[in-house]
Structure 1
Amino acid sequence: MESKINRITDILRRDDGISGAMMYTEQISWVLFLKFLNDLEDSKADEALLNGQEYTYILDDNYKWSSWACPKDAKGKLDLINAKSGEDLLEFVNKELFPYLKGFKSLTQDPKSIKYKIGAIFEYLDNRIANGHTLREVLDIIDELDFHNQADLFQLSLIYEKLLKDMGSDGGNSGEFYTPRPLIKVIADVVNPVIGETVYDPAAGSCGFLIEAYNHIRYINAEENKQRELSTEQLKFLNEDTFFGNEKTPLSYVMGVMNMILHGIESPNIAKTNTLTKDIRGLEEKERFDCILANPPFGGKENDSIQQNFPIKSNATELLFLQHMMNYLKLNGKCGVVIPEGVLFQTNKAFQAVKQELLERFNVHTILSLPAGIFLPYSGVKTNVIFFDRAGATSEIFYYEVNPPYKLTKNKPIKYEHFKEFLDTWQERTLTENSWVVHVNNIKDYDISAKNPNKNEVIEHKSPLELVENIKTNNKEINDLMDEIEAVLVGKDIE
């Protein structure tokens, strides 16, 4: 299956309408989704037949995969006479198929129905494959994939994750799509969502946190596809009433909803909205969630109209998201959130006020200090994970500093095994050279930064003569660079 997807990406890279990993992932996604939907409906029709019932297909006959994408002849081979290609295929896809699918959202008012979800996905999608023969090649390869059984669906979900990872590694704005999966798994392990609890991500992106929470609840061992025994009622709750999220950018929203459906969650409650536009004052308990897992955007600035929605005003998005999550957590609820290092140590008025509320109203039980480079290549910002419960005030904080055996780079990313000692120690608060405990009474000015007391910083003392030599060397390098720049500028003036 993976080799077929790799073939498709190679084909799409040659198409005039496609540029970059973000775009070919988007285009593979809608084709994959329609084949998945076809196989899902076939399986439901077979199941209904066995129960003596008749299944009502979501898609009309003309728009089923077997009608337009890859119609078959009597021998089960591609019907070359009726299979569209070239301009005919593009005409059908652009002028009939996509308008039909986009219209689904207006046909039903039930946001939990798969019909509504299809409309929500295609509302923000368009076919960008410019060559109809290229699209024909892609359809033929994807038609060979079979998503009728659980093992194949699981394989598909892994491959889709890889596509999203490749898109994240592409750098630029695509970083919003991908948080390293080992880190997400660790956060899910600590927060530990269980069946019957609701799970929320206010900055869902491609829904990696929600999917990992689903795997944590659904599987005894996700890698071996070993599922827990759940009742019909529990499965319905898991599928329809467990997972919630917000995402404001159209492509992230599409990828997120599609990612969840491809992982077997047919009715995820993902809204396309800017989380920070919601006034967090006066929330009722029924609006809150049992578990919150997130890696919200940070480093951005928000205007006054957005800041009015928060008791403690700040233009820093990370501070607004933190307040949002604190207010959306149910009594005894659990939260794990990635935040930039600055949130921990900054002591200006807004940061102090938010951290005061966090320590006094919530139990900040653990802070995980992440190594530099964990979000490369799209961000080098030093980050931490704060774990807190809405179960009384903070008394002491367990800190753990992750130290991988090598410097993290794009090609040498963080691994789940790098968190083993942390996962073995955080509950019992076992002290190692990487961990320590701070009592709340010892925290000054609400500075909760992770400073490992077990490590002595080595300061290299140099003689005055060595310092002078270093300054002279640096000055020489600066002068050489200035000469090169001047030569370039003079050359341009002559031209």
Structure 2
Amino acid sequence: MSLQQKIDRITDILRRDDGISGAMHYTEQTSWVLFLKFLDDYEAEKEDEAILSGKPYQPVLDEEHRWSNWACPKTPDGKLDINRVRTGDDLTDYVNKELFPYLKNFANATSADPKSFTYKIGGIFQYLDNKVASGHTLREVLDIIDTLNFQSSDEMFELSLVYEGLLQNMGDAGGYAGEFYTPRAVVRAMVKVLDPRPGQTIYDAAAGSCGFLVEVFDHLKANKSQLTTEQWDFIQHDTFFGFEKTSLAYVMGMMNMILHGIESPNLFRGNTLTQNIRDIQEKDRYDIILANPPFGGKEKSQIQQNFPIQSNATELLFMQHFMKTLKTGGKAAIVIPEGVLFQTNSAFKQVKQELLENFNLHTILSLPAGVFLPYSGVKTNVLFFERSGGTSDVWYYECEPEQKLTKNKPITDAHLAEFVELYNSRTTTDRSWTVSASKLGEDYDLSAKNPAKQKDTVHLAPNDILKQIRIKEQQVAGLLDEIEQLLAET
């Protein structure tokens, strides 16, 4: 049975449980069980490495609360120890009254280093609870998860793919796709063209399930054999930073990063927009920013006070935050709704003026309608900019699949392959063109208007216009006569 089949089997089991209602619940519950099995394998691997190196290793979990003791204890010959294994009420009582309180307390320990793996575990379980009502149901789930081996690189890779699918299903069920899942083809294209390097810091102020941060990690890990020990340590502990407002997305994001192999992600729970951007200094900034911030939301006036250009539109507040938190020479790629490009009221105009005058907005990727269906029909674009002086030219690329995008026909890597190929050269094609910043006008309308599609307007003389109107009136009158005759004959 493949890992995907095992996860599907767990989903079927959880659907029968009285405490589970929908994909959001079974994804959340599958996640914490997966994570604890992963943690047990991680601890075992670290202990083996310590023995080989002759260095001591202090396990994160004490013996009583390790998977191999409470979840699936074994006999000396490796079989499930039926004399020690818990099930039914005994299992749920232990999980609810002993295991979860023990794990939650990790984040409250006064000696815990916020960067430590121990603290991260506490941060995860601080916002989690066991919702599986039946201990017999939970027993079935534990027995399946116990067959997984997270010390296998192949199984870990498969797990990362399966987990992405779980997060996507979570977004599908709750209508929170933007919160839990940005289409991976879009994420991969954004990461490929920015091409993050070891030693750079990566930031997402609306992290959700951390898809951007995970993709950057995979991008950096592809050349792991060429990395120094110092570079790899920096990647593990000091590269990835993010904020997430909602507790469930924060938990999913933290687990997503750890399950992908990031030992100490710097993910924090909180509303990014409560930070006064006037207080941000160069030391607080990041080399690369990748994000798909929430848009269409409204923020109260108290939050708006944190921004020089006040607006209740969250997309404008996040744009100001991203501009302020980008390092000198840094690069950003931000998903924004189409409205940001063409709206010209005071706040929208001021933000775009700031962006064009003080940043190099060199590229706008116009995404096709339907990228976020069925969760949102809003058309989106990706802004690529750098903190390296003002904008001189903007290169546009219009992604246009031959077939309309739907839930069952989503955007793919192939749809964005040409964009990725042309990004550095900024070549002009039927789908791409360059506009001088000086021609954008005083309203700073950044709408993507493909010149290859623009048709010359034919201006008719007034008499010719009147003739066309009379011809159309005669055609309408003739159709009305025919309808009237048909009605008379019936």
Q: Quick check: 1:284 aligned with 2:286?
A: no
Uncovered stretches (5+) of structure 1, i.e. residues with no partner? 221-226, 472-495
**Of the two, which has the highest radius of gyration?**
2
Give the corresponding residue for 2:447: 449
Look up the SS of the partner of 1:281 in the other structure: helix
Q: C-alpha displacement at 1:424, in angstroms? A: 1.6
* Cα separation, 1, equivalents of 2:383 and 2:375: 22
Counterpart mapping for 1:55-454 below 5 A: 55-107=57-109, 108-220=111-223, 227-444=224-441, 445-454=443-452
Q: C-alpha displacement at 1:74, in angstroms? A: 2.1
1:258-288, CA deviations, whole angstroms, 9 ceiling, x for partnerless residues? 1000000010000001000000003211100
Determine if contact 1:199/1:291 at 8 Å carries over to the other structure: yes
Code of the aligned partner of 1:295:
N
1:407-442, CA deviations, whole angstroms, 9 ceiling, x for partnerless residues? 101111000110111112121111111111100111
1:27-73, CA deviations, whole angstroms, 9 ceiling, x for partnerless residues? 00000000000000000000101112332111111101011100001
Percent identity over paired residues: 61
Determine if contact 1:171/1:377 at 8 Å carries over to the other structure: no
Give the corresponding residue for 2:484: none
Look up the SS of the partner of 2:226 in the other structure: coil
Look up the SS of the partner of 1:299 in the other structure: coil
* Cα separation, 2, equivalents of 1:305 and 1:200: 25
* Cα separation, 1, equivalents of 2:299 and 2:417: 38
CA separation of 1:172/1:465 partners in 2, compared to 1, >3 Å: closer, same or farther?
A: farther
Give the corresponding residue for 1:30: 32
TM-score by length of 2: 0.92
* Cα separation, 1, equivalents of 2:142 and 2:177: 26
Code of the aligned partner of 2:406:
T
* Cα separation, 2, equivalents of 1:356 and 1:83: 65
Q: C-alpha displacement at 1:14, in angstroms? A: 1.1
1:113-163, CA deviations, whole angstroms, 9 ceiling, x for partnerless residues? 110000000000000001110000000000000011322222211111111
* Cα separation, 2, equivalents of 1:426 and 1:22: 37
* Cα separation, 2, equivalents of 1:174 and 1:282: 32
**Deviating 4+ runs (over 6 angstroms):** 465-471
Q: C-alpha displacement at 1:21, in angstroms? A: 0.9
1:353-373, CA deviations, whole angstroms, 9 ceiling, x for partnerless residues? 111110000000000000000
CA separation of 1:469/1:317 partners in 2, compared to 1, >3 Å: closer, same or farther?
A: farther
CA separation of 1:176/1:468 partners in 2, compared to 1, >3 Å: closer, same or farther?
A: farther
Give the corresponding residue for 1:4: 6
TM-score by length of 1: 0.91
* Cα separation, 1, equivalents of 2:187 and 2:71: 36
Task: Give RMSD over aligned pairs.
Answer: 1.9
* Cα separation, 2, equivalents of 1:214 and 1:441: 38
Uncovered stretches (5+) of structure 2, i.e. residues with no partner? 458-467, 481-490
